[in-house]
Amino acid sequence: MVAKKILLLDGNSLAYRAFFALPLLTNEHGVHTNAVYGFTMMLQRILEEEKPTHMVVAFDAGKTTFRHETFSEYKGGRQKTPPELSEQFPYLRKLIDAYRIKRYELPNYEADDIIGTLSLEAEQAGDEVIVISGDKDLTQLASPSTTVYITRKGITDIEKYTVGHIQEKYGLSPEQIIDLKGLMGDASDNIPGVPGVGEKTALKLLTAHGSVEGVYEAIDQQKGKLKEKLVENEELALISKKLATIERNAPIEIKIDELTYSGPDQDELIQVWNELAFKSLLEKMDYTAEETEKEELVFEVLQETDPAIFEDEMAIHLEMYDEQYHTCDLLGVSLATASKTYVIPMDVVKGSEAFKSWLMDETKKKYMSDSKAATAAFYRCGLEVAGVDFDLMLGAYIVNPSLTYTDLANIVQEYGYTDVSQNEQIYGKGAKKSVPDDGILHEHIARKGRTIWAVRPTVLKKLEENEQFELYYNLELPLATVLGTMESFGVQVDKEQLVAMGKELGEKLAEIEKNIHSLAGEKFNINSPKQLGVVLFENLGLPVLKKTKTGYSTAADVLEKLEGQHEIISQILMYRQLGKILSTYIEGLLKEIHEDGKVHTRFQQALTTTGRLSSINPNLQNIPVRVEEGRKIRKAFVPSEPEWLMVAADYSQIELRVLADMSKDESLIDAFKHDLDIHTKTASDVFHVPLEEVTSDMRRAAKAVNFGIVYGISDYGLSQSLNITRKAAAEFIDNYLKSFPGVKNYMDGSIQTAKQNGFVTTLMKRRRYLPDINSSNFNLRSFAERTAMNTPIQGSAADIIKKAMIDMADALEQENMQTRMLLQVHDELIFEAPPEELEKLKTLVPQIMENAVQLNVPLKVDFAFGDTWYDTK
DNA sequence: CCAATCACG
DNA sequence: ACGTACGTGATTGGA
């Protein structure tokens, strides 16, 4: 039997110490983290140095304790816990849980008493004990087998109080610490002691007489003022001693044997640290993760492919050099079954007929991760993938869309699997990035295939528990193939058109720049908000309406309010607008054109928290449309075949229709059933005027309210968007919710659901967890509440268009059409089509999209076409 | 590498 | 009272 080493931590005291020792840090949500951070640093160090076998963190429970019965002013006059600290306690508890350390608190007792009781129990059993606190009171617990660690100055700096050390420092035994407090008192706990007796006098008295009682027995040996004070305050001294005495027989319900410590839950810890934004700790963790031993994996590198190795169900992984799977180097393939793992080098893959026919055989089930990437990359080698039956990345994303899914190692870590390295560890990063020797590379690839096979059952189990098979097998998995095809097709871009526009814009910008510089009376970088701020608000003396964290805000909404005040403002706004078009949409887009004259975006399918797609390299979901100058960029997006047309079909008000369906609001449903202009209808209801009397301003206001509703309304947000007072905005909202009681009901219900379940769901049972919904932090809680209202709406709309895309791809194939789906922009689909298919598309596309799902309101799709994307209006 | 800005739904 | 609209990506300047 290994000797026990028991660590008893005073949670409250350590949190206080850390809080006051460190500057206020905050994470990205504005939650303070300094106390938790300090506590963590201390804990890390202690764990490493002491390697305890048993641990507990004791906390004070509630405000009053048995000590208040003795002395009602106990701990009186103490500053209330600062809110910046109290908001950290929930995180502290989470952290401790992640370490898998027991927490304990006991009504009516303080942490001291829990520690005192446990240390006595341990002592009697002959175990080694370390007590850790920021409070010197605890030193009274020191004994031959118990050392008390008291933090000093910072939080990781520790003073170790053994019996000997106390003797040396004070000339007292540990028990006499209580007497010391009895005489001198303790200001922080409002323990009075004997007025006029400080540490010096108390120590002298105790060295002579041993204890408080001893002092009074020999009271006649004192004289003068001191004697007077002692006599006068005898009762106070005894009460003080009692207060300072740690209870060592508290009625605790735990036993030391229940406090075993066997290391943290790494995944949980990573999650908590992430939440708290403890970056340095996370990096350190990566470093240590590298050193953890992986279980040995036996695999076979194939120089030729015997058809016999291909089975009906296999995990398959295609290793790529980076995320840009449309162009990057392909490094090899691994295959895994229950008993076998193979690695096939890329040149062997390319030359293997057996592999090719297995890959395209739909009856052979493939288990992959990021099947879209692999499908698109194989496509480049002339290889077609069929029969994808599992996609690890997508599965994990459905289980929890709030996590990031970039590296396979990180994905499977969520499921407790650590036998695969992170790409960065294999390839390095930055300038040092390179492909390692075959030995290392092959093992890495092999482990990925093995990992997919190994983790699949766990992911599937989760999906089944959450009733997400439908979402998984019938939506995301088939969508991956559809998206991969769209990306591989690409979109034709008219390079000359862009270059010509760029030239024109560049000249115009140079002119505006000159203009701005002369208006400012000096040359400066207009693109630098810092320099611009100095020019506008210091040199020109314009009023500062808004500030950012780092200085003056020069954002467009601020500048617009200053437009009348100086000629330079409108020039700057113009410069910004055109500069954006040039840098992002002309120069940026030109850089993304591939050799085939097309751009091949990547739709990220496992990224957003709501279920939407995102688009990168280039982003084709934010091509300008709202202002004409930018919209002209769309003239450069053209069909890839001569004479073909661009086609656009967008859902009209899909989010509000989803809201109507989910809220069952009669008025809203009725409006859509009659196909009313929803903003006019809203204005009519909110302003209590007939439809025909709604003015354009009223409609504009109503439109903003409708947006607000979808986003999870707040009066402040609405007031910003409409440029009105908060009060007026609040009134609008109030009127809206009275007019649409079903919506109010839905919003409340959504928050309730989140509070009860910890998550909200969409039409197709997509989940989003909202851990902050019950937070005591107003900001966090409010954000979670708005998210609870918004995610089901935005997410359900995303579900619907995804379903429409799958149906659309099926229909185009079924009907043997040449038309190609190119892009999805959240509520619209873009196609290129031969002119002879146009008539058919006019009915087919809206029909498919409008019937992707059945709601209790109709879905409506607007259809448009033209020679370029610009002309689809 | 982050903050600010601005493009989209 | 708190301070915020929901979801994205690319570019720029400046530590």
Does nucleic acid strand B have an atom less than 7 angstroms from the CB of A791? no
Query: Is pLDDT of A718 > 60?
Result: yes
Average pLDDT, integer, range A396-408 = 95
**Pair A726, A768 in one domain:** yes
Residue A269 lies in a domain: no
CA of A345 to C1' of B1 (A): 36
Average pLDDT, integer, range A629-653 = 98
**Pair A440, A503 in one domain:** no
Q: What is the CATH number of the domain that holds A809?
A: 3.30.70.370
Residues 19-78 of A near strand C (Cβ < 7 Å)? 30
CA of A668 to C1' of C3 (A): 31
**Pair A32, A149 in one domain:** yes
Q: A430's torsion region: left (phi>0), alpha (psi -120 to 50) or beta?
A: left
Instruction: Lay out the sheet containing A5-10: strands in order across.
Output: A102-105, A54-59, A5-10, A128-133, A146-151, A158-161
Which residues make Cβ contacts (< 8 Å) with residue A821, sequence separation at least 6?
A: A482, A485, A486, A805, A808, A809, A812, A829, A830, A831
pLDDT at A26: 67
**Pair A627, A704 in one domain:** no
The Cβ of residue A93 has, within 10 Å, a number of other Cβ atoms equal to: 15
pLDDT at A154: 65
Residue A234 lies in a domain: no
Query: Is pLDDT of A69 > 60?
Result: yes
Residue A179 lies in a domain: no
Positions of E strands within A453-601: 491-493, 598-599
Tokens representing A456 are: 């699949």
Bases on strand C under 7 Å from any protein CB:
1-14
**Domain residues for A380?**
287-487
CA of A858 to C1' of B6 (A): 34
Bases on strand B under 7 Å from any protein CB:
2-9
Confidence band (pLDDT; 50, 70, 90) for A490? Answer: very high
User: Alpha-carbon distance A765 to A469, whole Å?
Assistant: 10
Contact A605, A493 (CB under 8 A): no
Closest CA to A68 of A231, A194, A190, A217: A190
User: Alpha-carbon distance A607 to A67, whole Å?
Assistant: 54
Query: Is pLDDT of A235 > 60?
Result: yes
**Pair A531, A460 in one domain:** no
Percent of chain A with pLDDT over 90: 65
Whose CA is nearest the C1' atom of nucleotide C13?
Answer: A528
In the listed set A434, A467, A487, which residue is the last one of a domain according to the structure?
Answer: A487
Confidence band (pLDDT; 50, 70, 90) for A770? Answer: very high
Nucleotide of closest approach to A629 (CA, C1'): B7
The secondary element (H helix, E strand) that includes residue A55 is strand A54-59
Query: Is pLDDT of A807 > 70?
Result: yes
Query: Is pLDDT of A287 > 60?
Result: no
Nucleotide of closest approach to A578 (CA, C1'): B6
Nucleotide of closest approach to A825 (CA, C1'): B9
Does nucleic acid strand C have an atom less than 7 angstroms from the CB of A826? yes
Does nucleic acid strand B have an atom less than 7 angstroms from the CB of A576? yes
Whose CA is nearest the C1' atom of nucleotide C9?
Answer: A619
Positions of E strands within A192-329: 300-301, 313-320
What is the total count of domains within chain A? 5
CA of A200 to C1' of C13 (A): 61
Q: What is the CATH number of the domain that holds A252?
A: 3.40.50.1010
Residue A725 phi, psi (nearest 5): -75, 160
Does nucleic acid strand C have an atom less than 7 angstroms from the CB of A843? no
Does nucleic acid strand B have an atom less than 7 angstroms from the CB of A776? no
pLDDT at A256: 85
Query: Is pLDDT of A773 > 90?
Result: yes
Distance of CA A277 to the CA centre of its chain: 10
Does nucleic acid strand C have an atom less than 7 angstroms from the CB of A406? no
Which neighbouring-strand residues pair with A319?
A332
**Pair A387, A533 in one domain:** no
In the listed set A745, A761, A794, which residue is the last one of a domain according to the structure?
Answer: A794
CA of A258 to C1' of C10 (A): 54
The sign of the torsion formed by the CA atoms of A397, A400, A406, A410 equals negative
Q: A190's torsion region: left (phi>0), alpha (psi -120 to 50) or beta?
A: left
pLDDT at A577: 97
Average pLDDT, integer, range A268-289 = 69
pLDDT at A162: 86
Residue A280 lies in a domain: no
Average pLDDT, integer, range A82-106 = 84
User: Alpha-carbon distance A472 to A679, whole Å?
Assistant: 35
**Pair A434, A471 in one domain:** yes
User: Alpha-carbon distance A419 to A396, whole Å?
Assistant: 17
Tokens representing A764 are: 């197709």
Residue A424 lies in a domain: yes
Whose CA is nearest the C1' atom of nucleotide C4?
Answer: A717
Contact A287, A424 (CB under 8 A): no
pLDDT at A629: 96
Nucleotide of closest approach to A624 (CA, C1'): B7
For A869, which DSSP code?
A: G
Average pLDDT, integer, range A495-521 = 97
Confidence band (pLDDT; 50, 70, 90) for A520? Answer: very high
Does nucleic acid strand B have an atom less than 7 angstroms from the CB of A828? yes
Which residues make Cβ contacts (< 8 Å) with residue A21, sequence separation at least 6?
A: A38, A151, A153, A154, A155
Residue A862 lies in a domain: yes
CA of A576 to C1' of B4 (A): 13
The Cβ of residue A44 has, within 10 Å, a number of other Cβ atoms equal to: 14
In the listed set A438, A466, A487, which residue is the last one of a domain according to the structure?
Answer: A487
Does nucleic acid strand B have an atom less than 7 angstroms from the CB of A188? no
For A674, which DSSP code?
A: T
**Pair A513, A449 in one domain:** no
Confidence band (pLDDT; 50, 70, 90) for A221? Answer: confident
CA of A371 to C1' of B1 (A): 31
pLDDT digits (tens, 9 = 90+) for A654-696: 999 999 999 999 999 999 999 999 999 999 999 999 999 999 9
Give the lowest-confidence range in A3-7, A348-352, A381-385, A411-415.
A3-7
Does nucleic acid strand C have an atom less than 7 angstroms from the CB of A591? yes
Q: Alpha carbon of A310 to those of A300, A363, A717: distances in Å?
A: 14, 12, 58
Closest CA to A417 of A394, A441, A437, A392: A392
Tokens representing A277 are: 């934004």
Average pLDDT, integer, range A351-362 = 97
Nucleotide of closest approach to A530 (CA, C1'): C13
Q: For chain A, give the mean pLDDT.
A: 91
Rounded to a whole number of angstroms, the distance between the first and last alpha carbons of chain A is: 80
pLDDT digits (tens, 9 = 90+) for A314-328: 999 999 999 999 999
Residue A460 lies in a domain: yes
User: Helices then strands (H, E): number in chain A?
Assistant: 38, 23
Look up residue A351 and give its amino acid. Answer: G
Does nucleic acid strand C have an atom less than 7 angstroms from the CB of A604? yes
Query: Is pLDDT of A800 > 90?
Result: yes
The sign of the torsion formed by the CA atoms of A513, A516, A521, A525 equals negative
Residues 263-292 of A near strand B (Cβ < 7 Å)? 279
Give SS3 for A310. coil
Does nucleic acid strand B have an atom less than 7 angstroms from the CB of A211? no
Residues 325-384 of A near strand C (Cβ < 7 Å)? none
Residues 753-782 of A near strand C (Cβ < 7 Å)? 778-779, 782
Tokens representing A252 are: 């605790």
Q: Alpha carbon of A33 to those of A92, A100, A651: distances in Å?
A: 9, 20, 44
Does nucleic acid strand B have an atom less than 7 angstroms from the CB of A549? yes
Average pLDDT, integer, range A458-475 = 98
Does nucleic acid strand C have an atom less than 7 angstroms from the CB of A527? yes
Nucleotide of closest approach to A580 (CA, C1'): B6
> Rounded to 5, what percent of chain A is helix, strand, coil?
55, 15, 30
**Pair A326, A471 in one domain:** yes
Whose CA is nearest the C1' atom of nucleotide C6?
Answer: A711
Does nucleic acid strand C have an atom less than 7 angstroms from the CB of A254? no
pLDDT at A46: 84
Helix axes A741-757, A654-663, angle to 10 degrees: 80
Does nucleic acid strand B have an atom less than 7 angstroms from the CB of A249? no
pLDDT at A546: 92
Q: What is the CATH number of the domain that holds A534?
A: 1.20.1060.10
**Pair A629, A511 in one domain:** yes
For A523, which DSSP code?
A: -
Average pLDDT, integer, range A81-99 = 81
Closest CA to A29 of A783, A720, A713, A788: A783
Query: Is pLDDT of A97 > 90?
Result: no
**Pair A135, A9 in one domain:** yes
Whose CA is nearest the C1' atom of nucleotide B3?
Answer: A550
Confidence band (pLDDT; 50, 70, 90) for A63? Answer: low
Positions of E strands within A516-623: 598-599, 602-604, 614-616
**Pair A48, A131 in one domain:** yes
CA of A67 to C1' of B6 (A): 61
Confidence band (pLDDT; 50, 70, 90) for A284? Answer: low
Nucleotide of closest approach to A277 (CA, C1'): B2
pTM score, whole prediction: 0.74
Does nucleic acid strand C have an atom less than 7 angstroms from the CB of A786? yes
CA of A794 to C1' of B9 (A): 10
Q: What angle (nearest 5°) sits at the alpha carbon of residue A37, between those of residues A34 and A40?
A: 150
- Residue A432, classified by CB atoms within 10 Å of its CB into exposed (0-12), middle (13-18) or buried (19+), is exposed
CA of A768 to C1' of C6 (A): 14
User: Alpha-carbon distance A215 to A221, whole Å?
Assistant: 9
Q: Alpha carbon of A605 to those of A391, A479, A592: distances in Å?
A: 11, 9, 20
Nucleotide of closest approach to A83 (CA, C1'): C2
CA of A11 to C1' of C13 (A): 44
User: Alpha-carbon distance A363 to A435, whole Å?
Assistant: 34
CA of A551 to C1' of B2 (A): 15
Give SS3 for A388. strand
Closest CA to A754 of A775, A780, A774, A776: A774
pLDDT digits (tens, 9 = 90+) for A132-148: 988 888 888 998 889 99
Whose CA is nearest the C1' atom of nucleotide C5?
Answer: A717
Residue A319 lies in a domain: yes
Confidence band (pLDDT; 50, 70, 90) for A168? Answer: confident
Whose CA is nearest the C1' atom of nucleotide B7?
Answer: A622
Contact A169, A206 (CB under 8 A): no
CA of A549 to C1' of B3 (A): 9
Whose CA is nearest the C1' atom of nucleotide B8?
Answer: A622
CA of A22 to C1' of B8 (A): 42
Residue A651 phi, psi (nearest 5): -70, 135
